[in-house]
Amino acid sequence: MVRGEITVERVSLSVRFSIKVWSEKGKVMAEHANDLGSAGESPPPFDVFINHRGVDTKRNIAALLFERLDHLKRRPFLDYKSMTPGEEIEEVIETAIRDCKVGVAIFSPNYCSSDNCLHELALLMEYKKKVIPIFYDVKTSDLMLVDDGNFPAKQLHRFSVALELAKGTVGISFDSCKGDWSDMLKRVSDRVVEILKDLEDEEKF
């Protein structure tokens, strides 16, 4: 082979190599663009909103119910597990409630002292969501608002209406010391799944 032919061959190899490199770069950039596009899409709405008083239920029934529903692929929302740093709390909470299909309200001894819990419950009722009440270590007669000046009059009325609606709904009572945890979690999750399936069937028509 003469020197000129060697030079031509090297140039040809160099061109082919450059084309391959740019092709691979283009592929990677396209994949990256697709990833960015996917990342920019809004996540699907939550199926279930878990309304609870953290001091009473965060580390027991609320967390266990979240894990069970998550295992069943029924997207549950639980504030400290579902929110990320930097998000605006009130906006995320209201969006989750507005877009969910079912609410689970866990009533506990300190529930009625929390305006956050009562506000979430009121939103669930105002958005006309199907709500499953769980009476955790409380009776319905224990759930009452005390007008001690902590709530504005307008909010007090709003919270009272929501609370009475929830108390008038058939729920599940549970004693954390004597109750069967496995049975309770199954009953709640089964009912959630049943409601979700009914709603999905209705959407088909």
Hey, which residues are catalytic here?
Answer: 120
Residues 6+ away with beta carbon under 8 Å from 3: none
Check: CB of residue 119 under 8 Å from CB of residue 46.
no
Q: Phi first, then psi: what are they for 65, rounded to 5°?
A: -65, -40
Tell which residue, 128, 113, 99, has the closest CA to residue 159: 113
Q: Cα–Cα distance between 177 and 158 in angstroms, integer?
A: 33
Q: CB-hemisphere CA count at 13 Å for 11?
A: 6
The tokens of 16 are what? 């082919």
